[in-house]
């Protein structure tokens, strides 16, 4: 009985062990055979790294919903040297393989090393190491180029910008003693001599410098020069690259030059991107090579849907090296943490810069795990990127295009007669919205790099926004300020006051200034009131009114109209200058009472921008309310489901203008276009226009005066104000036809202009 019980227990134990062994075997088989590769790969994972993912930038639209600037997805290739292998040789092999892929597909890669890419190697710039510069006090100094900084830091050359130190004269060496003579005898009869100061390393030509670079970077096959030898300054062959071809060595050196600039903190504006906007054929070839540390990733670049408004839209660029500290500490959302990383992009000029806080999205963060070969095996979003907002501008791109095309067709002929640049601003009278702001000559934003190289030294400065940054004497367009001041101030003039034009104004001196009509034709305007004085632009009338007012009151009214004052525009602008005794004396000149006469007719030192002139006319004809000029109309979320900001017009100041006084001034401006000197340009329009011409003498390459023209329309219910300037265009009246064309286009297109509906927007 006991024996049977024992055997049963033994078999139970055997069966249990068999089950355990079978279970373990099945588990091991599953681990090793079925999932072996998967678990092997998992064992090779590294610690997850955190990556910041760029957010899509918001789009720019015109006032009618027309897309002006959007994003285009491209693929770029960058390098992660930490994943390229443990040795410089492995890294270089990967880089060379990538270069050969690019050559096979005809892809250009980024290489700024100033050494030609083919033999015989030579510098591609006249200043490879240093260039002349000035310090803060204007003293001439020498500054290192990027290549120079790296060459000095790597020990390839001595600093060529550092002046050699003058060695102090040393006392004569004492006669060697007996012990010194014995030591000299033991060394072979040589007595002690002072150690020679090593000669400074000379600047190298391109080929030997490339040799030193190759040695330092371990760019070589068999028989490579030891890097310690190169660092120690020992003599090495010019270009010892083993079994590599010279072109391959130069290509690899160019990429490592870019990487070393960044690793040595010489050029930290952005991370190095090998190639941008690459096609699928190149991507496929790179993927087939399975190159460790070569990263192909999608990114976005700005796409321009218009060739116009280049001065208004702006660009997007990486953060420049000198701006890194500012941007990385910039806290836009108030959370106490800088919102930018060193490699971020920012708006540069125009609306891109002015509305950066709206256009810039919120970057996302993801955790990435890689295996030992650098391949990504896991990605987890910690926070997804949020695209930037959509910014609606006040700009009417159709009107903007019309004005720019008008300049493009009319200015070349005028330039043959001495004219230079031009500008035109069209404002909404009631809100000071910028409907158009054209500057001539202009450039193409989509090809900015090529344009900068071609036009950067153009004396006509096409990259300057003349509409906001060009300051010009207003000439007779200023006379409405003098008129309003004289009408509004007590005991100066009324709408019916008559002043006799005597030709020459002799109040201060017998040879005083003349009215233009007397100077050119010997005629006089006779007894005229303020309306007629504006129509015929009688200088004598305004000399008298200006003298009675005095410079202080003239300056006060000019400031109320915003002349010589900031307009409030979001873009960079010049504030201009309103002539005054203080300004004249600040330039070492003497102010005389007679200077007020010139100020009253828009001469002297007064200089205003076309934007200021347009806003001054808008302020005048809307009854005296000066609004802040602005380019921002509305900000919506990226999907147009929410309104982030609806711009409310800002009032900068008001002028109490009596209706009868305003009517008198406007009547003079109307008479100019209906019976005055520019009536031919406006007689065919289906609405009436008020206008004023201006001509102002100025310096420059041409003897011609600047042409200035301002106008508003319709006369009975003003809607838009226009200011146009042509540098050295001679007569302001010559611009009347161009301004009439602008008005004609605006009002004829207004009825047919369609507002483009955008997604998630209610159609009215």
Distance, in Å, from the CA atom of 702 to the CA atom of 418, rounded to the nearest integer, reads: 5
683-694 mean pLDDT: 95
Distance, in Å, from the CA atom of 456 to the CA atom of 436, rounded to the nearest integer, reads: 25
Contact indicator for 481, 558 with CB cutoff of 8 Å: yes
- Residues contacting residue 302 through CB under 8 Å, at least 6 positions apart: 57, 69, 70, 71, 72, 315, 316, 352
The structure tokens listed for 303 are 């796409």
Q: Specify the DSSP element, H or E, that contains 47.
A: none
Distance, in Å, from the CA atom of 83 to the CA atom of 69, rounded to the nearest integer, reads: 37
What number of other Cβ atoms are within 10 A of residue 447's Cβ?
Answer: 13
The structure tokens listed for 278 are 């690459």
441-465 mean pLDDT: 90
Q: b/e for 299-320, b at 16 or more Cβ within 10 A?
A: bbebebebebbbbbbbbbbbbe
Nearest residue to 625 (alpha-carbon basis) of 493, 495, 542, 718 = 718
Whether residue 228 has pLDDT greater than 50: no
Collapsed DSSP state (helix, strand, coil) of residue 326: helix
691, β-bridge pairs: 711
690-710 mean pLDDT: 77
Distance, in Å, from the CA atom of 577 to the CA atom of 556, rounded to the nearest integer, reads: 13
The structure tokens listed for 690 are 């008020």
Whether residue 268 has pLDDT greater than 80: no
Distance, in Å, from the CA atom of 739 to the CA atom of 735, rounded to the nearest integer, reads: 6
pLDDT digits (tens, 9 = 90+) for 351-394: 999 999 999 988 888 777 766 555 666 777 777 888 999 999 99
Look at residue 188 in the predicted model and tell me its pLDDT.
47
Q: What percent of the chain has pLDDT over 70?
A: 84
User: What is the signed CA dihedral for 89, 93, 95, 98, rounded to 10 degrees?
Assistant: -170
Q: Is 591 exposed, middle or buried (0-12, 13-18, 19+ CB in 10 A)?
A: middle
CA distances from 748 to 26, 685, 702, 709, 757 (A): 85, 10, 37, 21, 22
pLDDT digits (tens, 9 = 90+) for 133-162: 776 677 788 888 889 899 998 989 888 887
CA distances from 8 to 14, 15, 35, 441, 723 (A): 10, 10, 39, 106, 112
pLDDT digits (tens, 9 = 90+) for 94-127: 999 999 999 999 999 999 899 998 888 899 988 8
User: Confidence band (pLDDT; 50, 70, 90) for 290?
Assistant: confident
**How long a stretch of residues is the chain?**
764
CA distances from 664 to 532, 556, 557 (A): 9, 21, 17
Distance, in Å, from the CA atom of 97 to the CA atom of 86, rounded to the nearest integer, reads: 17
Look at residue 339 in the predicted model and tell me its pLDDT.
77
In the chain, count of helices (H) and strands (E)? 27, 23
Look at residue 9 in the predicted model and tell me its pLDDT.
79
Contact indicator for 655, 619 with CB cutoff of 8 Å: yes
Distance, in Å, from the CA atom of 510 to the CA atom of 672, rounded to the nearest integer, reads: 31
The pTM of this model reads: 0.80
Nearest residue to 346 (alpha-carbon basis) of 333, 362, 332, 357 = 357
Collapsed DSSP state (helix, strand, coil) of residue 446: helix
Look at residue 245 in the predicted model and tell me its pLDDT.
86
User: Confidence band (pLDDT; 50, 70, 90) for 185?
Assistant: very low
pLDDT digits (tens, 9 = 90+) for 593-627: 999 999 999 999 999 999 999 999 999 999 999 99
């Amino acid at each position: 009985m006991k024996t049977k019980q024992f055997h049963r227990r033994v078999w139970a134990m055997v069966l249990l062990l068999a089950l355990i062994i079978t279970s373990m075997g099945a588990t091991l088989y599953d681990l090793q055979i079925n999932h072996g590769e998967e678990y092997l790969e998992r064992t090779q994972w590294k610690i997850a790294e955190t990556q910041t993912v760029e957010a899509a930038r918001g789009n720019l639209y015109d006032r009618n919903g027309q897309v002006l600037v959007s994003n285009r997805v491209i693929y770029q290739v960058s390098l992660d040297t930490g994943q390229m292998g443990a040795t410089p040789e492995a890294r270089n092999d990967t880089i060379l393989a990538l270069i050969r892929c690019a050559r096979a597909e005809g892809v250009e890669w980024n290489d700024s090393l100033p050494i030609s890419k083919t033999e015989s190697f030579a510098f591609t710039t006249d200043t490879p190491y240093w260039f002349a510069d000035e310090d803060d006090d204007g003293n001439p100094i020498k500054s290192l180029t990027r290549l120079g900084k790296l060459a000095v830091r790597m020990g390839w050359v001595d600093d060529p910008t550092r002046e050699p130190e003058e060695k102090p004269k040393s006392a004569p060496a004492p006669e060697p003693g007996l012990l010194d003579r014995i030591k000299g005898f033991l060394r072979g009869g040589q007595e002690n001599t002072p150690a020679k100061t090593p000669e400074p390393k000379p600047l190298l030509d391109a080929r030997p410098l490339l040799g030193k670079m190759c040695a330092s970077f371990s760019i070589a096959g068999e028989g490579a020069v030891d890097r310690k030898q190169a660092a120690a300054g020992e003599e090495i062959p010019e270009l010892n690259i083993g079994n590599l071809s010279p072109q391959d060595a130069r290509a690899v050196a160019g990429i490592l030059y870019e990487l070393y600039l960044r690793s040595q903190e010489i050029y930290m504006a952005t991370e190095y991107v090998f190639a941008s906007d690459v096609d699928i054929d190149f991507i496929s070839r790179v993927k087939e090579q399975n190159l460790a540390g070569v990263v192909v990733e999608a990114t976005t670049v700005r796409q321009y849907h218009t060739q116009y408004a280049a001065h208004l839209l702006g660009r997007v660029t990486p953060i420049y090296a000198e701006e890194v500290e500012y941007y990385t500490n910039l806290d836009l959302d108030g959370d106490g943490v800088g919102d930018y990383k060193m490699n971020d992009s920012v708006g540069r000029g125009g609306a891109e810069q002015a509305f950066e806080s709206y256009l810039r999205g919120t970057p996302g963060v993801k955790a990435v795990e890689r295996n030992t070969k650098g391949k990504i095996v896991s990605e987890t979003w910690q926070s997804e990127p949020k695209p930037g907002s959509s910014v609606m501008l006040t700009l009417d791109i159709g009107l903007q295009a019309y004005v720019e095309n008008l300049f493009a067709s009319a200015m070349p002929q005028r330039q043959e007669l001495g004219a230079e640049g031009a500008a035109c601003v069209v404002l909404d009278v009631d809100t000071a919205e910028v409907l158009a702001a054209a500057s001539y000559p202009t450039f193409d934003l989509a090809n900015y790099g090529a344009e900068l190289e071609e036009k950067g030294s153009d004396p006509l400065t096409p990259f300057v926004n003349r509409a906001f940054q060009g300051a010009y004497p207003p000439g007779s367009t200023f006379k409405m300020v003098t008129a309003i001041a004289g009408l509004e101030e007590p005991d100066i003039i009324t709408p019916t006051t008559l002043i006799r034009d005597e030709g020459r104004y002799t109040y201060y001196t017998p040879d005083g200034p003349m009215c233009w009509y007397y100077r050119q034709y010997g005629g006089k305007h006779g007894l005229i009131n303020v309306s007629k004085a504006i129509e015929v632009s009688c200088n004598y009338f305004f000399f008298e009114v200006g003298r009675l007012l005095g410079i202080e009151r003239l300056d006060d009214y000019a400031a109320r109209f915003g002349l010589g004052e900031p307009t409030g525009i979001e873009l960079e602008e010049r504030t201009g200058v309103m002539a005054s005794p203080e300004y004249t004396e600040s330039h070492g000149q003497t102010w005389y009472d007679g200077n007020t006469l010139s100020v009253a007719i828009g001469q002297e030192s007064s200089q205003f921008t076309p934007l200021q002139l347009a806003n001054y006319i808008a302020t005048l004809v809307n009854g005296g309310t000066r609004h802040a000029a602005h380019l921002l109309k509305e900000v919506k979320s990226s999907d147009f489901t929410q309104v982030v900001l609806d711009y409310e017009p800002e009032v900068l100041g008001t002028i109490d203008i009596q209706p009868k006084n305003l009517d008198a001034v406007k009547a003079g401006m109307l008479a100019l276009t209906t019976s005055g000197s520019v009536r031919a340009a406006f007689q065919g329009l289906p609405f009436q226009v008020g206008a004023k011409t201006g001509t102002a003498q100025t310096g420059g390459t041409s003897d011609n005066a600047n042409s200035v023209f301002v106008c508003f329309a319709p006369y009975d219910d003003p809607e838009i104000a226009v200011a146009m300037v042509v540098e050295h265009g001679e007569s302001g009246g010559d611009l009347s036809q161009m301004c009439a064309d602008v008005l004609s286009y605006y009002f004829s297109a207004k009825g047919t202009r369609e507002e483009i509906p955008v997604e998630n927007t209610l159609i009215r």
